[in-house]
Amino acid sequence: MAAKAQTARRWRYESRLLAFALVAGLPAVLATLLLLFTGDHAARTIWTVAGAVVIWWLVVSIALRDASIHPVNTVANLLAALREGDFSVRGRGANPDDALGLALYEVNALRDTMREQRLGAIEASALLRCAMEEIDVALFAFDDSEVLVLANRAGEQLLNATGEHLIGRGAGELGLSDFLREEAGEGMGMSIPGVEGRWVARRSTFRQRGRPMQLLVLTDVGRVLRAEERQAWQRIVRVIGHEINNSLAPISSIAASLADQSQRAERPADWDQDLHRGLGVIAARSEALTRFMASFARLARLPAPQRTSVDVAELVRRVAALETRASVKVTGRDGVRAMLDTDQVEQALINLVANAVDATCESGGEVSVSWEEGANRLTIRVVDDGPGVPESANLFVPFFTTKPNGSGIGLALCRQIAEGHGGSLVLRNRAGTRGAEAVMVLPKG
């Protein structure tokens, strides 16, 4: 019915054009016929000329109608091709200086624009599909009825089914409905029926063809945590193995040498001295190994902070008074209080002040401790004018030290104390001047 209505409207338009053309030529035809029939002409001449005039009138009118309809049909065909997504056709005769040519020119320009947009959309869609297939997190898209409309390769592997068997199934049937609920919470670990592991969900909404959709991203946190745990154990084993080997190697060598000398029939004259010296080395290395393991246990067994209301000025001044090698300058406003574990924060400040004093001992520089309070946080700065901190990413790695007699525990313990309070610790060189500063930020509440 719609096609017939469009056809009827088209013919009415063509009929109007033909009528306009006939009306435009009618006065001239009537005047010509009037002159022929009122003049002194032979009948044969009158009818011949009259027929020729009428035929010419009709032919020109029809030609004018066709000449007007043809470019309109051309533009209609071009627009239909664009609507169908066919960008291979172009209108001929495009000329911005001509009214009809201008219409064709604009249609061709529209065709070029739509073609570029279509190519860009296709390329972007192909890139998106490729990225979705390559990433190792599961992606699912659900419509407003919680019916699955899209799943990437990782999602198919997670549910152990192909996309053909998954698309069109509900979230409840797939065991994913809990991840789409508000109470699930962003980043909350949840389980999938029949699938091992713990998963973190991220959700977002988008629209496709005007319909609201939900994008669900699932990440296997269990696998990530296991990988991090494995790396942590590997680092711990390397550190402990290195320290134990450093102690056991000389102990084993000296013990073997003493055992060899003790089995000789005639012992060397300096046997007693060698025995005393060897046992001393064994005792020293054993003591060092014991200190190392004690430091390691201390770092691993740091308890949760027991918070009490602490006067920050009093705490800092008490720490500064413990340092006897140099004078520590204390600056800050009195009356600032914060909920802290006094023992832990005091130990962290003792380590930071000791490091700052160590950095300035040779140059005789100055060490200062200051604090300032924000809306909900307390910032404590330990500043020195020593040589600065080395450019190393291992400063907070346990048992890493740049000091000849350092244990490598202090900075790691300080950061652990700060993070245990919900804060942070940063060690950096001072901007625009010599020295370094340790900035510890702690929540006040």
Q: What is the average per-residue pLDDT within 111-134?
A: 77
CA dihedral 377, 383, 388, 394 (to 10 degrees): -40
Task: Yes or no: say if 361 and 201 are a contact pair by the CB < 8 Å rule.
Answer: no
Distance CA(261)–CA(114), nearest Å, equals: 94
- pLDDT for 150: 84
> What mean pLDDT comes out for the span 286-313?
75
Helix (H) or strand (E) holding 390: none
Which of 174-183, 214-223, 265-274 is modeled with the greatest confidence?
Answer: 214-223
What DSSP designation does 305 have?
P
CATH number of the structural domain 308-443: 3.30.565.10
Average the pLDDT over each of 130-139, 264-273, 325-334, 388-397 and give the range with the smallest value.
388-397
1 has a pLDDT exceeding 60: no
Cα 54 from Cα 44, distance rounded (Å): 16
Q: With 80 as the cut, is the pLDDT of residue 295 above it?
A: no
Q: Are 415 and 425 in contact (CB under 8 A)?
A: yes
Supply φ then ψ for residue 432, to 5 degrees.
Answer: 80, 5
Question: What's the one-letter identity of residue 429?
Answer: N
> Averaged over 267-287, what is the pLDDT?
74
Does the pLDDT at position 227 exceed 80? no
Burial 144-183 (b: 16+ CB within 10 A, else e): eebebbbbbbbbbebbeeeeeebeebebeebebebbbeee
Are 227 and 235 in contact, with CB atoms under 8 Å apart? no
Residue 268 has pLDDT above 70, yes or no: no
Position 437, amino acid: E
Q: What pLDDT sits at residue 186?
A: 45
pLDDT tens digits, one per residue of 337-390: 999 988 888 888 888 888 888 888 766 678 899 999 887 889 999 998 887 777
pLDDT reported for residue 184: 45
Band of pLDDT at residue 228, cut at 50, 70 and 90: low
pLDDT computed for residue 379 by the predictor: 92
User: Which tokens is 218 given?
Assistant: 């699932």
Sign of the Cα pseudo-torsion (318, 324, 325, 327, in order): positive
Per-residue pLDDT reduced to its tens digit, 387-411: 777 765 556 555 555 554 545 566 7
- The closest alpha carbon to 430, from 375, 376, 386, belongs to 386
Residue 380's pLDDT is what? Answer: 92
User: Rounded to an integer, what distance in angstroms lies between the CA atom of residue 288 and that of residue 246?
Assistant: 10
Query: Of residues 219 and 315, which shows the higher confidence score?
Result: 315
Residue 236 has pLDDT above 50, yes or no: yes
Contact between residue 378 and residue 394 where contact means Cβ atoms under 8 Å apart: no
Higher per-residue pLDDT: 278 or 183:
278
pLDDT digits (tens, 9 = 90+) for 40-64: 777 788 788 888 888 888 888 888 8
User: Does position 132 have pLDDT exceeding 70, yes or no?
Assistant: yes
Asked if residue 198 lies in contact with residue 191, where contact means CB atoms within 8 angstroms, the answer is yes
Region 107-113: what's the mean pLDDT?
83
Distance of alpha carbon 368 from alpha carbon 353, whole angstroms: 9
Higher pLDDT, 193 or 278: 278
Q: Cα angle at 168 between 163 and 169, to 5 degrees?
A: 95
Distance between CA 254 and CA 279 in Å, rounded? Answer: 8
- The tokens describing 48, both together, are 């011949």
Mean pLDDT of 127-144: 79
The pLDDT of residue 8:
53
Of 198, 204, 207, 224, the closest CA to residue 216 belongs to 204
- pLDDT value at 442 more than 70: yes
Strand, coil or helix: 114? helix
Assigned token pair, 425: 């610790």
Q: Give the 3-state secondary structure of residue 144.
A: coil
150 contacts 167 by C-beta, under 8 angstroms: yes
In contact, 295 and 329? CB cutoff 8 Å? no
Query: What is the predicted pLDDT for the residue at 381?
Result: 92
| Model confidence pLDDT, tens digit, residues 169-211 | 888 888 787 777 755 444 444 555 555 556 777 888 888 777 8
Residue 125: CA atoms inside 13 Å, Cβ hemisphere, count?
6
Q: For the structural domain made of 132-223, what CATH number should be given? A: 3.30.450.20
